């Protein structure tokens, strides 16, 4: 896994920020927040590959227990973090 220094963070549009998905999470920030609400999260597979879960802020459709799962594979940890 690659580590990103705070000085290497890409410039995000106003309101967006990378942070840890929960308070005591280890490693670099993997959750993308927009004005305090998580909208995407990077996850590492057991194989070491990465994918990103998108649209985490969407509510479940009426009559459904969960929102649709939107996932995209990434070629590396840095791929979805670079604009």
Distance of CA 64 to the CA centre of its chain: 24
Confidence (pLDDT) at 9: 59
Q: What average pLDDT does this structure show over 37-52?
A: 90
Gap between the Cα atoms of 18 and 38, Å rounded: 9
Give yes or no for residue 31 having a pLDDT over 80.
yes
**pLDDT at 80 > cutoff 90:** no
d(CA 27, CA 2): 10
Q: How confident is the model at residue 83 (pLDDT cuts 50, 70, 90)?
A: very low
DSSP 6-38: GGGPPP--TTEEEE-SSTT--SS--EEEETTEE
Q: Give residue-wise pLDDT tens across range 60-76.
A: 889 988 888 888 888 88
């Amino acid at each position: 896994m690659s580590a990103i220094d705070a000085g290497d963070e890409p410039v995000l549009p106003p309101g967006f920020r990378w942070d840890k998905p929960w308070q005591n999470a280890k490693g670099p920030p993997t959750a993308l927040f927009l004005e305090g609400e998580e909208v995407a999260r990077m996850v590492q597979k057991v194989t070491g590959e990465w994918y990103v879960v998108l649209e985490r802020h969407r509510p479940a459709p009426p009559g459904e227990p969960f929102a649709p799962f939107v996932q995209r594979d990434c070629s590396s940890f840095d791929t979805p973090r670079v604009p």
